[in-house]
Structures are given as structure tokens and as C-alpha cells.
């Protein structure tokens, strides 16, 4: 199947109601099956997911790796991963989903840098000791209570809970994934992503990054694709797009100013770049996202 034929589901498509920035399900084994989209075909989700499984079992694939869902386990899902379920067995647990736009509410941007969010090793499964499960379940249930309120600063409160959850989960990620995945190839991916974060506003091509990492562009792209499931240029474009969205939401800079700030000499090219990745012009995106946050 060609990559551009793989459907991508938004949070709005996946859930019947909610604010489409962050969604939660706490269920007894049936609610996971009532979501609106077909998960039995290969697809991507354009949002992040944490799924704490208390009980039940099913089987699905993430990219080229099969997983049998186990109880007392935390599953993480990143927007770039291709997913497909083999079966829809009932699961008991808690599901938390949130978008890039929700992460953009984090003013100091440290949340996005955590390993469990960046997921440099394309991981999916974190085993939990009893004390880990209890801590995460208690935190998610607190989030669930806040999620159901319409109180002032609700999103701020949920973002604070998400920060604690992500820090705690990142410790597990580091212990279980990073330390056991210390190959040269995975280190290259980590170094590449770090370099993108430092240089994305001035360096837009894979060939710009390769010599800084002492690699050829072809080798860099091959390793990055193998380790992350995305091409090197996709990583670069996603980081540029993320910063563009942040500036459109949080600043009053004109689109021309944002384009130049991100290294585009031609605002028309920036607009085409943005629309190709989002199916919206920067102006339409800015209006829509600000309406959503009102």
C-alpha cells in the first residue's frame, strides 16, 4: 500500500464528542470499541495516545512490529506510526489522546522534549511494576475528573497532569527503551532530532544536516527511516510546521514575518508548504485554531 493511501484519523474523526484537543475514555471493556473510525485497516492518527491496560487482550501492529496487548502495561502511540488492529477484543483501562495543538499550550515547550513524547526509538510498550501502575492509574483518574468539568483553566490543569504523567513515563521509557537501544543507529536518530531542534529555522534539507553528523544524506535518511518509520525530510518538515503553528497561535506576527523567521525567503512558498502538510493555508489555520481556544 502506498504511504499516501494510508488514512490519517484526526481526534475529531475518532471521537463523537469533546473539544478535539484532548480526549479521554475510562471504561469497563466496551468503550474502546465504540470509536467512530475503522482501526482494522492500516492507518495513522494525527494525535498522541497513552493507553493504560488494566485487563483484556488483543493484537495489533505498529509499523512492522506486532504487539499482543497485555494487562498492567502502558502503551504509547505517536502520530507518525502506522497502526492496524487484527481484532477488536474488549479492553479494560484508560485511554488518553491529545493533539499537537494541545501540546502547544505548553509555553516553555519542555513537555514536548520529553522522551515519551519525542519517542525517538519508535517504541510502543512500557511494562509497569505494581507501584508504577498504581501511580499512573491514580494520575489518569485525576485527569478524568478534571476532563469532565467545564471549569475555568481546565486545559491548564490537564496540561499540568499531562506533564507529570509524561515525566514519570519518560523515566520508564529511558530505563526500558533508551538504555536497551543504545545502538549507533539509534544514537544517530537522537542526534539528528536534537540537531533539527537547534537548526530547523535555517537548515531545511537532509543534505544540510548530513555533514554535521559526518554521514551522507542517503545513509542518514536510510537509518532515520529504519529507526523511526519516517523519512529524514519528514522529521525536518514536521519540526518547521510545529513552529509555524505555534507562532500562528501564540503571536501576532504576520504570515510573512513568520515565513521569514522560519527561513523561507518566499512567503508564497511557505504558504504552499504549510497547505501541503495541513490542507489549510496559514491564515485559515490561525483563524480556526484561535476559534477553538476561545
The confidence band for 228, taking pLDDT boundaries of 50, 70 and 90, is confident
* CA pair distance 89, 85, nearest whole angstrom: 10
Q: Which pLDDT does position 3 carry in this prediction?
A: 40
What confidence tens digit (pLDDT) does each residue in 138-153 have?
Answer: 999 999 999 998 788 8
Q: Which pLDDT does position 266 carry in this prediction?
A: 94
Question: Domain residue spans in the chain?
Answer: 3-178, 184-293
- The predicted model gives 231-240 an average pLDDT of 95
* CA pair distance 52, 98, nearest whole angstrom: 15
**CATH code for 3-178?**
2.60.120.280
Q: Which pLDDT does position 123 carry in this prediction?
A: 84
C-alpha torsion 151→34→1→274, nearest 10 = -20
- The sign of the CA dihedral 226, 228, 230, 231 is negative
On whether the CB atoms of residues 265 and 224 are closer than 8 A, the answer is no
Q: Tell me how far CA of residue 6 lies from CA of 39, 189, 197, in angstroms.
A: 12, 24, 28
**Cβ atoms within 10 Å of 235's Cβ, excluding its own:** 22
The confidence band for 35, taking pLDDT boundaries of 50, 70 and 90, is low
Q: Tell me how far CA of residue 278 lies from CA of 91, 106, 244, 250, 289, in angstroms.
A: 33, 21, 11, 18, 13
Sequence-distant (≥ 6) Cβ neighbours of residue 91 within 8 angstroms: 27, 29, 32, 51, 53, 55, 56, 57, 58, 69
Q: How far apart are the first and last CA of the chain?
A: 40
More reliable by pLDDT, 233 or 35: 233
More reliable by pLDDT, 177 or 260: 260
Assess if CATH 1.10.10.60 describes domain 184-293. Answer: yes
More reliable by pLDDT, 17 or 278: 278
Amino acid at each position: 500500500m502506498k504511504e499516501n493511501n494510508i488514512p490519517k484519523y484526526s481526534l475529531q474523526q475518532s471521537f463523537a464528542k469533546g473539544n478535539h484537543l484532548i480526549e479521554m475514555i475510562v471504561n469497563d471493556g466496551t468503550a474502546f470499541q465504540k470509536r467512530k473510525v475503522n482501526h482494522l485497516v492500516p492507518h495513522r492518527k494525527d494525535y498522541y495516545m497513552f493507553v493504560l491496560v488494566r485487563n483484556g487482550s488483543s493484537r495489533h501492529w505498529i509499523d512492522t512490529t506486532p504487539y499482543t496487548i497485555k494487562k498492567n502495561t502502558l502503551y504509547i502511540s505517536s502520530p507518525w506510526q502506522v497502526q492496524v488492529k487484527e481484532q477488536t477484543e474488549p479492553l479494560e483501562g484508560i485511554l488518553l489522546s491529545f493533539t499537537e495543538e494541545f501540546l502547544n499550550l505548553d509555553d516553555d515547550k519542555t513537555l514536548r522534549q520529553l522522551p515519551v513524547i519525542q519517542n525517538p526509538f519508535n517504541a510502543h510498550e512500557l511494562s509497569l511494576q505494581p507501584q508504577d501502575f498504581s501511580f499512573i492509574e491514580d494520575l489518569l483518574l485525576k485527569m478524568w475528573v478534571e476532563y469532565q468539568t467545564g471549569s475555568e483553566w481546565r486545559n491548564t490543569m490537564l496540561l499540568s497532569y499531562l506533564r507529570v504523567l509524561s515525566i514519570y513515563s519518560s523515566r520508564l521509557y529511558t530505563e526500558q527503551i533508551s538504555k536497551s537501544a543504545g545502538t549507533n543507529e539509534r544514537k544517530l536518530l537522537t542526534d539528528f532530532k536534537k540537531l533539527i531542534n537547534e537548526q530547523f529555522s535555517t537548515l531545511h534539507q537532509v543534505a544540510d544536516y548530513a555533514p554535521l553528523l559526518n554521514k551522507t544524506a542517503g545513509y542518514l535518511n536510510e537509518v532515520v527511516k529504519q529507526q523511526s518509520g519516517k523519512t529524514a525530510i519528514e522529521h525536518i518538515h514536521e519540526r518547521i510546521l510545529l513552529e509555524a503553528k505555534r507562532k500562528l497561535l501564540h503571536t501576532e506576527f504576520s504570515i510573512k514575518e513568520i515565513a521569514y523567521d522560519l527561513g523561507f525567503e518566499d512567503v508564497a512558498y511557505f504558504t504552499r508548504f504549510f497547505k501541503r502538510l495541513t490542507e489549510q493555508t496559514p491564515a485559515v489555520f490561525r483563524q480556526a485554531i484561535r476559534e477553538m481556544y476561545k
